[in-house]
Structure formats: C-alpha cells, structure tokens
C-alpha cells in the first residue's frame, strides 16, 4: 500500500471504484469535466465537489490524511484561478485594491471557475488513487492504442509520486540547513528556484536511466507486447458514467429552470 504521505500515489484497495475498469474511470473524469463547463452558476459546481468528495472518502475509501494533503493543491489552483477572474473580467468595479479593481462580473464568474478547476483536479486524484498505472496502460492497449504511447502515459503517472517525494526531500534538506520556513519572501523565492533546479536535474537523470533500461530490454522491438496481468471489461462498470451523466443533466435542468 502506498504511503499516505504522498497524495499522488495509488492506494491498493477492494472498493467499488478500485474494481472498475480503468478506461471507464478515465471517461468518467472527462464526463465530469464536460459537465462543469456547462454550468452557469457556482451551485452545481459546489454540488459536484461534495459528490466527488463523498466518492473519494466513502466509496473509494481513500486515507483521510492523504485526502487532506491533496486539498492544498485542489483548492490552491482553484483559488488562484478565481482571484484571476476577480480582477480580469470586465464589468462594473465593486472593490478597489490599489491599481486593481474587482468587478461584478468577476465576483459572479470567479466561483464558477473555482469549482470547475477544483472538481476536475479532485476527480483526477480519485482516478490516480484508485487505479494502478499498469492497469491503465493495459486498458489503453486493449482499445487499440500502441503500447509505446500507453507506456508513455504509464511513465508520466509513475513519476508523479517520485517527483513529489523528491520535492519533499529537497524542502526538508533546505529547511534543516537554513530554516527556510522562517525566511523572508525573497529568500523563499530563491529557495524555490533551487527546488526547481534540483528536481529538474534529478528528473533528467531519471529519464536518461529509464531510456537506457528500455533500450537494454529491447522495448519497442516487436509490434505486439504481452502482459502477465490481464484485464476484463465489465459492462456493469458503465454505471459510473451513466450515473454522473444523469446527475449533471439534472443539475443543468434545475439551473436553467430556476
């Protein structure tokens, strides 16, 4: 089982979402994202945030600590996007903050974009938490995607928790040496530059070693690749997509009629 210290890791489990075919869960994320772009008010997005949160904690049984650690990224990106629309959307100025002004259109559109981005990120986390990357790679090949491209997706998802571990290790090392948490803003910016440089160098080194290992094993030499673990598509898994299509259609109907 993956450590709950890192929020971008797969958690082994026997929940309903863990047993669903990986490609179905990927289509579910796309379905959620599509519905969010059709909402015109923040309320449906808030409802979807509650629903996806319930799925993560009650149905997928994701460790609560890992869920809390992910909220900083989930809500952080959404808040940045909401603040951006507060100040950039044209409209009647409501509040003045120095040279910047918050408009009435920004106050109305900002929360919509907040829930739009936050729910998409959270549903993507649910996909990562409940889906083994190897199973997702196999499901790609079963629908006709060449295994070379499917393996590229596997590597991208596999390296996410590794990069997160490296960032945490670099932050801890700098904190021990220079008390980074107590430094001023300018010093923190310089520290983040060092973080990015260190993680980038380690990532390039890891990519080089991975390419060497693939070349030594003859990866890509044959048009068809076999797998030890096979996956079977179950039509019953489509309930996840149909359920969310109905929920989103109901929310859109209520939004339009109200």
CA 131 vs CA 16, 115, 118, 143, 154: distances in Å? 11, 24, 20, 17, 11
| C-alpha dihedral sign at 38, 23, 14, 135 | negative
- Return the closest-CA partner of residue 20 out of 49, 55, 64, 46: 55
pLDDT of 3 reads: 42
pLDDT of 121 reads: 93
pLDDT of 51 reads: 95
- Return the closest-CA partner of residue 120 out of 36, 27, 58, 240: 36
Environment class of 45 (CB within 10 Å of its CB; exposed 0-12, middle 13-18, buried 19+): buried
CA–CA separation, 15 vs 37, rounded Å? 29
Token pair of 175 as six digits: 């904190």
Reported pTM: 0.77
Q: Which positions ≥6 away from 165 have C-beta within 8 Å?
A: 6
In the predicted model, residues of the chain with pLDDT beneath 50 are 1-6
pLDDT of 4 reads: 39
pLDDT of 34 reads: 93
CA–CA separation, 128 vs 130, rounded Å? 6
């Amino acid at each position: 089982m993956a450590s709950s210290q890192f929020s971008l890791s797969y958690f082994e489990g026997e929940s309903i979402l863990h047993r669903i075919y990986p490609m179905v869960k990927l289509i579910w994320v796309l379905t959620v994202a599509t519905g969010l772009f059709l909402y015109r008010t923040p309320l449906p997005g808030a409802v979807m945030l509650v629903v996806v949160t319930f799925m993560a904690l009650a149905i997928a049984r994701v460790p609560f600590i890992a869920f809390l650690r992910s909220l900083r990224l989930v809500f952080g990106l959404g808040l940045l996007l909401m603040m951006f629309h507060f100040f950039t959307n044209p409209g009647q100025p409501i509040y003045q903050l120095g040279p910047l002004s918050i408009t009435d259109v920004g106050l109305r559109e900002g929360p919509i974009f907040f829930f739009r981005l936050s729910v998409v990120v959270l549903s993507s986390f649910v996909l990562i938490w409940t889906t083994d990357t190897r199973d997702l790679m196999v499901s790609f090949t079963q629908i006709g995607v060449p295994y070379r491209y499917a393996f590229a997706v596997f590597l991208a998802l596999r390296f996410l928790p590794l990069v997160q571990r490296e960032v945490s290790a670099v932050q801890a090392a700098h904190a021990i040496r220079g008390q980074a948490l107590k430094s001023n803003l300018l010093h923190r910016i310089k520290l983040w530059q060092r973080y990015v440089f260190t993680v980038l160098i380690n990532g390039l080194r890891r990519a080089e070693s991975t390419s060497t290992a693939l070349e030594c094993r003859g990866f890509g030499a044959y048009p068809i690749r076999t797998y030890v673990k096979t996956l079977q598509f179950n039509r019953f898994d489509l309930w996840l997509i149909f359920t969310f299509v109905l929920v989103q259609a109901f929310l859109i109907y209520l939004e339009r009629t109200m």
